[in-house]
Every structure is written in structure tokens, then in C-alpha cells.
Structure 1
Amino acid sequence: MKRMMLLITTILIVVTLSACHRSLCEGENCVYVTVYPMQYLVEQIGGDYVDVARVPGSQVHSESIDWSAKEIIDMKNADILFYINGGVDTYIPEKEESTFEDSNVKLVDISQVVTYNEVCFSHEHDHDGEEVEHVECDENSLSEDPHFWLDPVRMLIAAEFVKDQLILEFPVYETTFEENYEALKLNLEKLDEDYQAMADAATKPIITTVMLFTYWHVRYDIEILSITTSAHSTESSASDIIYFSEEAALHNIHYVLFEKNTNSPAGDGVLEELLKTDSTALAAYLHGLGNLTNEESDVNLNYLSIMYDNLDILIEATQ
């Protein structure tokens, strides 16, 4: 069976998360970012020579962005602001000719170099529980999935682009940036190899509560069954619960994979149904990495360590 039910999250991995990083630069070489994975890249490549901060308010939905005068001045005086587009931080280009007019900061769009997956929101089940797949979607049903960092290969493409931009802005540190990039490249290539090994050994699909992990399907051909095709708060219908229970029994699936730091009533409903016939059914949690909580930062978790935590869960869930 090669089918994948897709959901794009409208709020990027931000529900219940607090702002865990500085929103103001403290050093001379100042770079702003809108999502955690970009912060990780700048930190790894820039090292001690670049100060990185999160765009104020970027941990919440873009409609809530409301910057103070000081925040605007600090961003306008920065050297680079990396944003990713894909429906996540469109408030940045929208403010280019207003807030950022006549400013020092260089606005850099990562989607210039990283190709995003296009996903179709819609799917239905017939009355027998079989999925009716829609081969064609109208323009309103297709959207970009901005979570490119879940694919180590695309993360490496972004890393090289970040390195090049940092060298253009701070050429005196070129040698250091190149060396740091090469070290990061080795880590990302090893991460890709380890994910591929997991996928090669996989014997079953995974059931996830949301369509957040399409890049693993595209890169590694992991079969993903997503419970919901809308927001995390969506309840599952009775037919959906029956469908996923039958799929779990058919493929000997024991895990429902939730997105960490979010709630999913739909996932709760499916897991509750699975437990009626499978006492070994469990919830496990995959991290979407758009943001880190204060607690995660305090124990020094980062992109690489969390991606390996996700990998451990995938190994357990697919074998």
C-alpha cells in the first residue's frame, strides 16, 4: 500500500511553546531568524563571531505579530534576517516596504534555494473505511510544507546557503565559517545515512496525528498515515477511528505518533480505540523542531539531538 494522507499545519509547531531565545541581538554581527532550525544553522556556522536572535513574536502565529518601536529599530539595524516563507513568516516580506524600508538589514528568503513539498489537504473515506484518494487538487487544496529541516538533505542545502550569506556579510571570518560548515555537513550527512538505514529496515507504516512529516515520506519512502487533515484540535469521526484501527491491526502497528508539545483529540480517540483490542498500543512523540521550549533549551537539546530522538522513535515504530 502506497498512500499518504496529508495535513499541513497552519500554525508552525508553536502551540503551548514559550519564547525560549533572545529577541534582541547583543553583539555587532547580528542575525535574526524566524524559526529554530535557522537559528541552529547560524549558530553552528557563525560560532562565536555571529550573534543570533529570534524575530520577536515568531514563536506564535503570524497574525499576532506586534513589534515595539525598540524591536523594530533593533531588527532594522541587524545585518541579516533569514525567513523561510511557506506560509510561516510571510509578515516579513509583507513589511519589507514599510517596516524594513531604509533599513540596514538584508532580508534573506530560504525558499530561494530550498524546494518545499507541495501537499494536498483533502482526503475522504468511503463508507467501508477505504480511503478515496484525490489525484488532482485544486489550487486552494495545495500548499507548501515549510518543515524542510526534517529532511537532512534539504537542511544541508540551507546550511550551505547560510554559510555563503554569512561570508558575504562578514568576509573576514570566511575561513572559520567554511570550517564550521564542513563539520556541520558531516553531521547532516551522517544523520541522512542513519535515517535511510531506519527506512531500509522498516516493515510497517506509521500512524501520525498530523501531516507534519511529509519530508520523511518523500526522502525515505516511509509510509505515513495521518489521522487529521486540519488543526490539532480536530476530533476524529467514527469512520476515521474505525479506519485507523483496522489499519493498525492489518499492519501490526502499536504506536500512535503525536507531535510533541501539542494536543491532539483526534489522536487520543484513535489510541483509545486501539487499546480496546491491543493492550500494547502506545503513544509516542515526534518533535517538529520549529521551536524549542525553555526546558529543552535548558538541558542543551538541539536540532541534531532531537532529530536522533525522533529517529529512535521511528525505529521502534516501524519494526
Structure 2
Amino acid sequence: MNVRRLIPAAALAGAVALGTTALTACSGTSAAAGGKDGKLAVTASFYPLQFLAEQIGQDHVKVSTLTKPGVEPHDLEITPKQTGQLGESDLVLYLKGLQPAVDKSVAQSGVKNIVDAATLTELEVHGSSGHDHTAHEGEEGHAGGEGHDHGEAGEDPHIWLDPVKYAEVAKGVGTALEKADPDHAADYRKNTDDLVGKLTALDTEFKDGLKNTASKTFITTHSAFGYLAERYGLDQEGISGVDPESEPSPARMKELQAVATKDNVSTVFFESLVSDKTARTLAADTGLKTDVLDPLEGITDKSQGADYFEVMRSNLKNLQKALGSK
């Protein structure tokens, strides 16, 4: 696995600034409604952070998301009206570097109470075995390309696909909620502990489920699974880079055909939020099967599960089948 460690994450205390304002209207709910119901108004940039806020905040929060179900987060565009509404939140959760439009809107919103999930764990640079995605850095839609700087050059933002790192982010979100709403701090602390326990159990399921497999290599449309691969001793081979919309070169497609033969690959994975055309083309050219590996950037009626845990367990099942789990 092609992994290079970078600078440790900033201290949590420096990452969370909190206070009190009113509800964001990014999901179409009025700001006044949030103030009247007495709940903490939280705006999350996309599903993984929305899920954490809902699980930890429960009845004490009202969560809105900037990325509607079915929208590919990397492609999100935010209107000036949404940017204005963003400033009315009590707490904003986002992941700097994943969604350039969100980064810009957060910077322009004047919100003081912001948590950048990228500061709550350690980011890494991930490539593929024998294929370093830094070769794409000059291309639009990749780290180093215009508008897509994932923090330090080439950092992988997909931290939620590693249950251990996601648990670290959950702890930071819990701390943020405690500080924003001290009256319910005990509830937030309990909910955080419960969620971290569930994520720890999920980590164990992945470790046990992927311990003995016929192959360690998987091919996927979207190079979102570097943290997952690193955590469980697998090798990710991405057709495209961090941005799922980027087009692979003919040379890359030829390279993947060779990898599939060499590493006993059985399946090419695709996802529901972007086109599966390239994955199916590669599968047809190499005589491989196709299946879904969901990067969990959004939940739709096409998702293989109703929430984070259900989809992650579907991912595990699909990986076990593709890799020949024993």
C-alpha cells in the first residue's frame, strides 16, 4: 500500500470554537423555527457528519445538511442564499478539502462556531499498489488541481470509511456539542460513548471478516477506500482518483487489467452516486464481475442499507465475497 504519513492533526481544543446563534435554513427550515424549539441548530456539510450529529445530539439537536441525498458531495454547488443561511447555525460541521464549495461558503459565512473534521484525526496520503495518485495532481478534480486542495497536497479526506478514525471524529463532535450546549453535556457524552462502542465493534467485524482472504487487492471506481485498505491490510486499486468523476487514461485501464490477472482480482466495484460505465467497461474487458462498494457520501433508496452501519456491513459482505474470504 502506498501510504505516506503527514503532519499530526491539530489539537481538538484548537479546532472547536463554539457559541450560540440560531438555526440554519439550508434544508429549507426557517431560522426562527430552530430558535423556538430550543434545539441546537447544527449544519453538517454531508452525510457522514450529519450522521454523527444526529447520533450524538439526538433529541437535543436539529440537524440540516448542505448535501441533499443523491448529490455527489464533490460536485456540490452552494447558492449565495445558502451561504447566508449557513451563518445562522449554532454549530457547523464540515470536512475541509472534500467539498471546495463548502470550504468557500464556510469561510464567507462569518460563523465562529465551526468544527473541521479533518482536524479531529490524522490525514494521510493514499495511492494504489504500483500506482501513485500524486501523478494526477495537476489534473482538475484531484489534489493539487484548481479548487481541490485536500489540506496538504494529496491528503485523502475519506476518513469516515475507517471506523477507528470515524470514532476519533465522533469524539471531537461530541466534545463540540458539549461545549455548545453545556446543559445537555452528560447526554452528549453518553451518546458519544455509545457510538464509539458501536464503531469499535464494527472495526472488530472488519478485522475478523477480512483476516483470511484469497486476494488482498480490490479495484474500485472511486479511490475513497485508502483508509479502509490500510486499516485491514488490503490494497486499493482505483480506476479514478479521489474525485470519482475523473477519467482514467488508456494506460491506467491497461495497468488495471494486468493487476487483475496478477492479484487474482474477481470483482470491479462501483458506487451508486456516479456512473458505473468505466467500471463495467473494465469488468467486461477483463472478464470480471461487478459489485457495489459504497463510499457512504450520501444515503439514497439505492444504498445497500438505511444508515452508516448498515451500508458499512454491506461493504464488508461485498468485500468478503470479492476477495474470497475464508
- Deviation for aligned residue 1:233: 5.7
- Deviation for aligned residue 1:221: 1.8
Whole-angstrom distance in 1 between the partners of 2:28 and 2:119 = 25
Q: 1:179 aligns with which of 183, 190, 209?
A: 190
2:232 maps to a residue whose letter is Y
Larger radius of gyration between Structure 1 and Structure 2: 1
Q: 1:151 aligns with which of 162, 170, 177?
A: 162
Whole-angstrom distance in 2 between the partners of 1:290 and 1:23 = 21
- Deviation for aligned residue 1:22: 3.4
Change (3 A) 1:195 1:82: same
Q: Unaligned regions of 5+ residues in structure 1, if any?
A: 5-20, 124-130, 276-280
Native 8 Å contact 1:116 1:146 kept in 2 = yes
Change (3 A) 1:244 1:77: closer
Whole-angstrom distance in 1 between the partners of 2:136 and 2:248 = 24
After TM superposition, the structure 1 stretch with the greater mean CA deviation from structure 2, 213-222 or 144-153, is 213-222
After TM superposition, the structure 1 stretch with the greater mean CA deviation from structure 2, 225-234 or 38-47, is 225-234
Whole-angstrom distance in 1 between the partners of 2:277 and 2:84 = 42
Whole-angstrom distance in 1 between the partners of 2:202 and 2:68 = 31
2:46 paired residue number: 35
Change (3 A) 1:189 1:161: same
Question: What SS is found at the alignment partner of 1:200?
Answer: coil
1:113 maps to a residue whose letter is L
After TM superposition, the structure 1 stretch with the greater mean CA deviation from structure 2, 284-293 or 40-49, is 284-293
- Deviation for aligned residue 1:137: 9.6
Native 8 Å contact 2:174 2:188 kept in 1 = yes
Native 8 Å contact 2:266 2:323 kept in 1 = no
- Deviation for aligned residue 1:94: 5.8
1:270 paired residue number: 282
Native 8 Å contact 1:33 1:83 kept in 2 = yes
2:50 maps to a residue whose letter is Q
- Deviation for aligned residue 1:41: 0.5
Q: 1:64 aligns with which of 77, 90, 93?
A: 77
Q: 1:282 aligns with which of 277, 281, 289?
A: 289
State TM-score, norm by structure 1. Answer: 0.76
Aligned length: 280
The answer to whether 1:84 aligns with 2:91 is no
Q: 2:61 aligns with which of 50, 58, 62?
A: 50
Identity of aligned residues (%): 23
Deviations 1:212-259 (A, max 9, x none): 21111221221122223475362552x544433333233332211112
| CA-atom RMSD in angstroms | 3.3
- Deviation for aligned residue 1:172: 0.9
The answer to whether 1:193 aligns with 2:200 is no
Which structure ranks higher in relative contact order (CA pairs < 8 Å, sequence separation ≥ 6)?
Answer: 1
Q: 1:232 aligns with which of 245, 270, 276?
A: 245
Whole-angstrom distance in 2 between the partners of 1:113 and 1:158 = 5
Change (3 A) 1:301 1:244: same
1:110 paired residue number: 117
- Deviation for aligned residue 1:133: 6.1
